[in-house]
Structure 1
Amino acid sequence: MTTNPAFELVVRRHGTSVLRMCTALLGPGPDAQDAWSETFLAALRAYPSLAIGANIEAWLITIARHKAIDILRANHPVPLDELPESAVLPAGLGGLQLLDSLASLSELQRKVIGYHYLLGFPYEEIPAFLGGNPASLRRAAADGIKALRSQHHEAEEES
């Protein structure tokens, strides 16, 4: 009889992928770490009833996506009288303002790029997370990468 691997092994194998997904959706920091923790707590409770041979990484990524959305909903923007000081980008990004560049992409482009390039999912599996079809998601990623390259090229010309 075949069984799913021990949960500790699942955390070791897929912890990085789950953290990448949480960070892609929430940005680096405590919110992404909280979503990671909540993902594995929820997964631990549901793991005994997971079908043998199920795609564990896809299952965890789906849970992570839901946990990240929960955090986004809980932290919805509140109007302020004054704008806070602008965030300081981490050192080492050079002339390319990577965070600004990513923010300029559509939500779909950011998500598809995250699933494909950060997490390594083939385009054929991404519709299970985002809907759509592989061809449209491939096009969204290509358009997003093209926009990032264009912004990078412009930033190099300015420096």
Structure 2
Amino acid sequence: MAYNEQAEQKALLAINNAAHETALKILMNAYGTDILRFCDSLVKNESDAQDMLQNVFIQAHKNFSTFKGESQIRTWLYTIARNRCLDLIKSRKRMSNYLEFVDEVPESSGAETEETSDMLAAKIIRDCLDKLSNDVKQAMLLRFQSDHSYEDAAKILQQKPGTIQARVTRALPTLKRCVEENGVTL
């Protein structure tokens, strides 16, 4: 989902008036689904992604009073989400319990439906994204899945906008080639 100016304004007003629960509800309604999808793309586990989503909004609620307004609230929330997801991934690696979950694609019965074809294409795209470095994958997801500008993605990833744009630009031909090699035409 793109930037929701009305939700941002209402949330800022609520934060400034110390109505943090109201701000939280506004932001969860405006951005919760997209942040969940972003977390799921990073942690590759729906249950963990839901936990991360809760952690994002708990942390935001605790830190509303420190929000400086130097970026959109949406950008701030995605930064929190990214950091919480990376923390989870690091802890998984340290504990050697990092398991990657892959969505199951139904077996083809000969008569492939459009829905099955779309599911297969989505799985191939996810698999190709997973072959990219973590930094490039995050830039691609923020830019195309979450519809962030390069400037917002740069703030979330703590990089320069030109760096994010270069990563995306260089990754697109690689992603396209991988997808096409796996039988999906873009």
What TM-score, normalized to structure 1? 0.78
Q: Classify 1:101/1:89 alpha carbon distance in 2 versus 1 (closer, same or farther; 3 Å).
A: farther
110-119 or 19-28: bigger deviation: 19-28
Between the two proteins, the alignment pairs up a number of residues equal to 151
CA root-mean-square deviation: 2.8
126, 145, 153: which one aligns with 2:153: 126
Q: Per the alignment, in what secondary structure is the counterpart of residue 105 of structure 1?
A: coil
**TM-aligned CA deviation for residue 73 of structure 1:** 2.3
Question: What's the counterpart of residue 78 of structure 1?
Answer: 96
Q: Does 1:60 align with 2:86?
A: no
Q: Which runs of 4+ in 1 moved over 6 A?
A: none
Segments of structure 1 that go 5 or more residues without pairing to the other structure are none
> 1:123 offset after TM fit, Å?
0.8
Sequence identity percentage? 20
1:1-159 map, 5 Å: 3-4=13-14, 6=22, 7-51=24-68, 55-76=72-93, 78=96, 89-91=104-106, 92=116, 93-94=119-120, 97-156=124-183
| CA gap 1:50/1:141 in 2 versus in 1, 3 angstroms | same
Q: 1:88 to 1:127 in 2, by over 3 A?
A: closer
From the two aligned structures, give the one with the greater helix fraction. 2
Cα 1:13–1:88 shift into 2, 3 Å: closer
1:100 deviates by 2.5
Taking structure 2 as the reference length, the TM-score comes to: 0.68
**CA pair 3-139 structure 1, distance change in 2 beyond 3 A:** same
Describe the SS at the equivalent of 2:53.
helix
Offset at 1:137?
Answer: 1.5
Counterpart Cα distance in 2 of 1:35 and 1:151: 30
How many angstroms apart in 1 are the aligned matches of 2:73 and 2:37? 16
Q: Amino acid of the residue matched to residue 131 of structure 2? A: S
Deviation, 1:21, is 2.2
Rate the CA distance shift 1:13–1:78 in 2: closer, same or farther, 3 A. Answer: same
CA contact (8 A) 1:115 1:126 kept: yes
Structure 2's unaligned 5+ residue stretches are: 1-11, 16-21, 107-115
